[in-house]
Structure 1
């Protein structure tokens, strides 16, 4: 993973929390009928802000520490999960497609995601938070390795 991914994950989380906080502030301002007392609105807003700050601070660092990937000439390996760790291994001979994608926020941070689709019922292997150059190299390397491997990837 790129170290820049930590900032991307924090920014993405912060944007989500800003929407939640903005909705709570809007509700506080337009609640003319006082469905909830102002102090209750304020307390909920404070709790939301505390949880948001904790999430934006802890989640990206934790994610960076537990998510891993590696690609060799024989297989693609990924490790993911927060509390329950999952290892996925896809032999190169099973690779059907290799895709790269970048959303608008990822483009801003110069990051990309790579998806390796295999014949596995467990679904594709996703490698996120890569710097753009590493992602391009990974796609090229896996594509070349899959093409050089005999078999029909099933």
Structure 2
């Protein structure tokens, strides 16, 4: 599912982003990450799980007296790691959501432990894009919105690189026009 156009990103519907008193309310964001995120998260998991598992298997083949224990260690790491690799990316894709309005950035992230965040535009200090090597293979970026919050930056993972760049520019423009001192 592709992200909606920029004009849809800032949809105006008072019940969505604001409570009756005009305060921002926690609500489910509407946009999913780019579908290529599933592949990105899968490769990230494999890069974490495969090296120690393969090293233990290789050592088990080469060191006959310790073979049982090395292969057991490989199974203890490899089996849950492969299960994690098989389940986590699709589950995470179903959970991760993001949205921007003229008032705030909304995110929901995680897969077992889920975190919902609202960053009012008046609190935004910086907007950055980040692309690691695996993300670059999938033409994806992460948008990092730094706020004056002790909870840290708000991250939108799994955006197409063009979408992340456009969203960073748009949030910067809107933030500059939003009253407040971002503190």
Matches within 5 A, 1:1-154: 1-31=33-63, 34=65, 36=66, 38-154=67-183
Structure 1: runs of 5 or more not aligned: none
Cα deviation digits, residues 24-48 of structure 1 (max 9, x gap): 123214436x2x3x33433443443
Structure 1 counterpart SS, 2:105: strand
Runs of 4+ in 1 over 6 A off after TM superposition: none
TM-score by length of 2: 0.76
Report how far residue 7 of structure 1 moved: 0.5
Structure 2: runs of 5 or more not aligned: 1-32
User: How many Å separate the matches in 2 of 1:85 and 1:45?
Assistant: 30
User: How many Å separate the matches in 2 of 1:122 and 1:46?
Assistant: 37
Say how many residue pairs are matched.
151
Q: Greater relative contact order: 1 or 2 (C-alpha under 8 angstroms, separation 6 or more)?
A: 1
| Alpha carbons of structure 1 residues 119 and 22: separation in structure 2 relative to 1, 3 Å | same
User: How many Å separate the matches in 1 of 2:37 and 2:78?
Assistant: 23
With 4-13 and 41-50 compared, the bigger mean Cα shift is at: 41-50
